[in-house]
Amino acid sequence: MLLLQLIVVSKVLVAKGKGMEFEKTRRQHMVSLLQRKRWSVHDLAREFEVKVSIVLDDLEHIRRSISSRHKIRIFPSECNDCGFKFKGRSKFTSPSRCPRCKGERISPTMMKIELT
């Protein structure tokens, strides 16, 4: 009985360890992709076949952990109807609606990792 419990516990630990490793490599891979070109959160979610919420988590983690020589540069969304620029946003996600013309044709917010 005790042996069985030990087996169950060790299997859970192994599964957790693998999950963390997977997460680590995904984030490392994401950093290298973001160093090459601009990505939106939706592009990244599609690339890694994960939910947008997972990408947002990863980006927050990357933002905190990348070296001080690097930063995630955000290229703001624009309204395709009136040209309004969503400057000064630090969010990774795109706004859904233009505050000026109320249009919903908004270009996606893009991110890239650059040297500071």
Question: Where are the alpha helices (H) located in the chain, listed in sequence order?
Answer: 2-36, 41-48, 52-65
**Residue 39 or 86 having the CB closest to Zn ion:** 86
Say which amino acid occupies 100. Answer: R
Give the contact letters, 31-70, x = binds to Zn ion (CB under 5 A), - = no.
Answer: ----------------------------------------
Nearest Cα residue to 84 out of 102, 104, 95, 100? 100
98 near Zn ion (CB under 5 A): yes
100 near Zn ion (CB under 5 A): yes
DSSP state letter for 96: S
Selected from 81, 95, 107, 112, the binder of Zn ion by CB under 5 A is 81
Selected from 6, 9, 12, 82, the binder of Zn ion by CB under 5 A is 82
Angle at 18 between CA 57 and CA 37, to 5 degrees: 45
Which residues contact Zn ion by CB under 5 A?
79, 81-82, 84, 98, 100-101, 103
